[in-house]
Structure 1
Amino acid sequence: MPANRAVIYRGPGHVEVEDVDYPTFELKDGPGVNPDNVGRQLPHGAILKVVATNICGSDQHMVRGRTTAPEGLALGHEITGEVVETGRDVEYIKTGDLVSVPFNIACGRCRNCKEGKTGICLNVNPDRPGSAYGYVDMGGWVGGQAEYAMVPYADWNLLRFPDRDQAMAKIVDLAMLSDIFPTGFHGAVTAGVEPGSTVYIAGAGPVGLAAATSAFLLGAAVVIVADLNTERLEQARSFGCETIDVSKGEPADQIEQLLGIPVVDCAVDAVGFEARGHGDNAQEERPATVLNTVMGVTRAGGKVGIPGLYVTGDPGAADEAAKHGSLSLEFGLGWAKSLAFTTGQCPVMRYNRQLMMAILHDRVNIAKNVNATVLPLAEAPQGYSDFDRGAAHKYVLDPHGMIQR
């Protein structure tokens, strides 16, 4: 049995790469594992040799200590890998297949899965609908920032790449299919982006840049990306976005300078609960700022996509209400403008095959647009540190040295 190493959360601001157990077809007890999931048998699973596994902004929330994640949690929900073993009930996925793993863990059997709502599967997390690998309050499924990882319900969850050589030539782009590309695309789709749209995207991190890429893929005429980080705004401009530095004033005023009117057709919140203020308040944490802004700058009758993460428990929040997920929303404004909102995990399987085809046939360069940067697994702690400081990179970990650089 091969050795295995994984990225482990060791408290706020601290991750380590440590030796861990090789995965098996049983969910064992460990940090964050729901007691009702302990001992769960997984004959429908597959064990992967991890080819690429990414650091996500959602991971960063945990590492900053902004969730109730337990120490010892193995991190990572963005996984691309090679199948090295399958459980006895796996029928279609085969050893040697190169696959993408949706970050949502879904059974394929419950009502929500059958309706395509794989982000809120009813059977994988005893706490509440929806689950993910290596994430707090998500059932305790072991994270995939590791050399080897186990994926349950393999026939249902795994997206097989049709040609191994073609896939390996584009593996850094394809690594974005596990989360941020479908998540950004979901934000743009649910915001109603269509040919000729003007789009406001709050946040120039990897998900915001993926949403901007998706907006162009859907035919948007103007994509405006807003952030405080000048390096990330420069990255957005590198593929045709207009940009707004929210530290320099209200977004509506800057939108008017770009478009002649202070509103856009649709908006995407790719920031989430660690939002900061605008203008003179740009260095203060104000978790409702982005939600209130997107309501203000979206035209009456428009739509808002909210792939940015919001949580029910934030021990590091700026005020008591926000610690319990309660924010000071100007909801009356959204109601008065008849806005439509879509929130929650992206149902990755709704989009990942189509986006895979766009990558394989050179219709999109997602790795370039998000500035994907490959690191060996041993350098994961440095990647987390640099990402926390606002580096304009999407860090891709290469546990086995399989990615050509």
Structure 2
Amino acid sequence: MKAVAYIEPMKVEVQDIEYPGLELKDGPGVNPANVGRQCPHGVILRCVSTNICGSDQHMVRGRTTAPPGLILGHEITGEVVEVGRDVEFIKQGDLVSVPFNIACGRCRMCKEGHTGVCLNVNPDRPGSAYGYVDMGGWQGGQAEYVMVPYADWNLLPFPDRDQAMEKILDLTMLSDIFPTGYHGCVSAGVGTGSTVYVAGAGPVGLAAAASAQLLGASVVIVGDMNADRLAHARSFGCETVDLTQSGALPDKIEQIVGEPVVDAAVDAVGFEARGHGKDAGEAPATVLNSIMEITRAAGKLGIPGLYVTGDPGGVDAAAQEGSLSIRIGLGWAKSHSFTTGQCPVMRYHRQLMNAILRDKVQIAKAVNATTISIDEAPQGYAQFDSGVAEKFVIDPHGLVKA
């Protein structure tokens, strides 16, 4: 079958690889302790849609320790074509959303709802994801088929296949960026009448902006340096701040909401942040420090943007191990609350599915979903890296309507 593999910085290619089975086999990035792991609790999916994520782009830029040959892809929606012996409730033919978090459903973290830090799927540390560096080695879903373990626990079946296929470009966002953006807003305390600042107008930032609107925010402000992405944010009702322009961020916030602070802020950028200003270079703590500056006293910060423990391209030795110069004193003085880490997708995906199916939100429009074939994946990665205001959805089998 075809699959998208990371080769080296700024290069991916479509390869022919072995069809998956209900066993975790050795390969690039597979933890030795996971090799041979049997998965009778798993299923094989035919991938209906599988998206390119900004987190994938970090690896493709060479900003992680991802090994050559790693099969990419953690945003998966598919049809069940094979069911393992121990699967009881998921059936062949089900059309399902796959949370990007791989979780066992049995450990303390899973039972407490912290599925982003499952204790049993990654021998290195808590938490796992498909096709991602240091996450245990579960094969990615930017492929024609993929194996999903613990299927009864992990998978979200859509109630009506025909209805789901009509809205598949919206529903494909349930695997990651819609719940992730929503989680950023919920953990930042967004509610009715809130004023909200979202740092970053990439797909997760746009998903967070749409989520803030869904949660009842009165004003959603999106900050970025990319004019096309800011224009897209304005297309669905957001205010915007162009961070290439001179002037302090609190002053720009005050021009919009009447005071230099907001109720809630979301970091949808992560560790490749740049300083503010037209010619600013990379400054990985910029977003964290700026959202502390503009969030009101006793406010909350949602931080779904990715931060890593290993960054070969970091600006200095500290950044290369994920140590950043954060103004924790400012956050302490303002009694801020911080929430970081992988979004626990299962906490939100059923509710967000219902919002999509009942036309309460148009998330595909908000992130400008664009369908490409699996053979076009390398071009999709290149275009995404150039900063286009699009969310690329790979359609491996030609099943997604134009």
The match for 2:371 is: 374
Aligned pairs for 1:4-403 (under 5 A) are 4-249=1-246, 250-279=248-277, 282-403=279-400
* Aligned-partner Cα distance in 2 for 1:218–1:273: 27
Deviation at 1:259, TM superposition (A): 1.4
Match for 2:358: what amino acid? H
CA deviations over 1:289-340 (Å, ceiling 9, x no partner): 0000000000000000000000000000111110010000111000000000
Secondary structure class of the residue paired with 2:244 = helix
* Aligned-partner Cα distance in 1 for 2:144–2:68: 20
Unaligned runs of 5+ in 1: none
* Aligned-partner Cα distance in 1 for 2:249–2:162: 45
* Aligned-partner Cα distance in 1 for 2:58–2:266: 20
Match for 1:45: what amino acid? G
Match for 1:231: what amino acid? D
CA deviations over 1:21-53 (Å, ceiling 9, x no partner): 100011000000000000000000000000000
Deviation at 1:279, TM superposition (A): 2.2
* Aligned-partner Cα distance in 1 for 2:114–2:257: 36
* Aligned-partner Cα distance in 2 for 1:252–1:245: 13
Deviation at 1:283, TM superposition (A): 3.0
Match for 2:188: what amino acid? A
Match for 2:229: what amino acid? R
* Aligned-partner Cα distance in 1 for 2:265–2:301: 5
Secondary structure class of the residue paired with 1:194 = coil
* Aligned-partner Cα distance in 2 for 1:180–1:70: 24
Match for 2:347: what amino acid? R
* Aligned-partner Cα distance in 2 for 1:172–1:200: 26
Deviation at 1:252, TM superposition (A): 1.1
* Aligned-partner Cα distance in 2 for 1:352–1:291: 27
Q: Provide the aligned length of Structure 1 versus Structure 2.
A: 401
Match for 1:262: what amino acid? P
Match for 2:255: what amino acid? Q
RMSD over aligned Cα atoms? 0.6
The runs of at least 4 consecutive aligned structure 1 residues that moved more than 3 Å come to none
The match for 1:404 is: 401
Deviation at 1:256, TM superposition (A): 1.0
Secondary structure class of the residue paired with 1:247 = coil
